[in-house]
Amino acid sequence: MKVLLKSHHQKLSVIVWRLTAIIMILTLNSIMRNRKPNDICIFHINIRSLRKNIDKLSNMLSTMQKPPHIVAVSKTKINKKDGLSFPNTITGYNFLHSDSEKSGGVGIYIDSSISYQIQTDVPNARNDSESLWIEINLHKKLCIIGVIYRHPRYDISAFTENICEILHNLSDKKLPFIICGDINMNLMQQTAIPRVRNYANAYKSYNCLQLITKPTRIIPSSSTLIDHIYTTLPLYKVTPGILINDLSDHLPIFVSIKSAHVEKVDTKAQFKHDFSNFNAEEFMDEIKETLNGMIINSNNPAAALDDAIGAIKKVLDDHAP
């Protein structure tokens, strides 16, 4: 009986964490679907082996009404020994990659309609990290896009020195740039850990903003912000977001870059939740009470999650009508 109860509470814990992620990110998901036709979208995901998950990535992109123009992938696990001895193409995209001697590696899928140039003069991430850089024409202006993967054991201070070298090089080019990747550094620890704070401050010293502010890896025991997007573009031109998807144990992140073209204002009525009197503590207390009172169908996890989402939506309607 105790074992069953422990299992029950573990399942509840997983659902609570996932639903917490949904609550935080729910309002951001519509950005991906509703961006303007001329907006450019750049997407990043820790793929956890491109060889194993290429079909899942391709299927996810094919189901999107408006797929991203740039798809950056980290932890591809493509190494020099194996090479690309597997199907790696995705319809409508060109693919570039940087090998890894270990279990890292990065790649970029570029919409076939976009012209690009590989930037070989940007200092590569060194030691236990990989990076890849391209230059594209963004709304009739050049822009540099890079993807970085930092291996978890790479010393933070040494990595920060490497990043400063990269930022200095990019600054000299006098072009806007966007850097995305799995940095394996929890930016929610800036206050507590000086090395993390120094790393974040390095970007700020080059007027470079970190756009992702919510956790990107959520498990029952922790939530961490380790997938980042940095840019020198002004805030009014960019809209960042996080997607809920089980492709990886990391949530996909993206940034939508507004077109220079003036779009007509949508005058249709839009209905949104009213959070003016929202009490997060009471909300979470009621969620936990509701979930604790539910009977979980352990034989059908998908149905259990659907039931839990339905219950949480009802609580959300009560607290934010």
pLDDT reading at 168 higher than 60: yes
DSSP class per residue in 119-163:
--SSPPP-SSEEEEEEEEEETTEEEEEEEEEE-TTS-HHHHHHHH
Region 264-278: mean pLDDT is: 51
28 confidence band (pLDDT: 50, 70, 90): very low
Report residue 30's pLDDT band, with 50, 70 and 90 as the boundaries. low
CA triple 212-221-26, angle to 5 deg: 40
Residue found by looking up tokens 């149905």 in the block: 303
Q: Is 209 left (phi over 0), alpha (psi -120 to 50) or beta?
A: beta
pLDDT category of residue 156 using cuts at 50, 70 and 90? very high
91-115 average pLDDT score: 92
CB count within 10 Å of CB 316 equals 19
What is the pLDDT at residue 144? 97
* pLDDT, position 102: 78
Give dist(CA 144, CA 160) in Å, integer.
20
**pLDDT exceeds 80 at position 218:** yes
- Whether 260 has a pLDDT exceeding 90, the answer reads no
Place 111 in a pLDDT band, splitting at 50, 70 and 90.
Answer: very high
Residue 91, domain member (yes or no): yes
Is 75 contained in some domain? Answer: yes
pLDDT value, residue 103 = 84
Higher pLDDT, 309 or 166: 166
DSSP codes joined into one string, 268-308: S-------TT--HHHHHHHHHHHHHTSPP-TT-HHHHHHHH
Rounded to 10 degrees, the C-alpha dihedral 60/63/64/67 comes to 70
- Domain extent, residue 207, equals 2-257
Angle CA 98–103–109, to nearest 5: 35
Predicted local distance difference test score (pLDDT) of residue 314: 76
Does residue 243 surpass a pLDDT of 90?
Answer: no
Q: Is the pLDDT of residue 72 over 70?
A: yes
Q: Is 189 left (phi over 0), alpha (psi -120 to 50) or beta?
A: alpha
**Per-residue pLDDT tens over the stretch 140-155:** 889 999 999 999 989 9
| Gap between the Cα atoms of 45 and 277, Å rounded | 35
pLDDT at 272 over 70: no
Q: How many distinct structural domains can be found in the chain?
A: 1
Examine residue 318 and state whether it is found in any structural domain, yes or no: no
Dump the DSSP string for 196-227: HHHHHHHHHTTT-EE---S-SEEETTEEE--E
Mean pLDDT over the full length of the chain: 81
199 occurs within a structural domain: yes
Q: Is residue 315 part of a domain?
A: no
What CATH number corresponds to the domain at position 195?
3.60.10.10
Please give the pLDDT value at position 54: 94
Residue 309 domain-assigned? no
Tell whether 276 is covered by a domain.
no
What does the pLDDT average to over 167-173? 96
Give the DSSP H/E element, type plus range, for residue 44.
Answer: strand 40-46
Q: State pLDDT tens for residues 286-317.
A: 777 777 766 665 555 556 666 766 777 777 77
Q: What is the DSSP letter of 188?
A: G
The span from the CA of 196 to the CA of 199, in Å, is: 5
How far is the first Cα of the chain from the last one, in angstroms, to the nearest whole number? 40
Per-residue pLDDT for 274 more than 70? no
Residues 6+ apart with CB under 8 A from 63: none
Res 320: pLDDT:
67
Residue 248 lies in a domain: yes
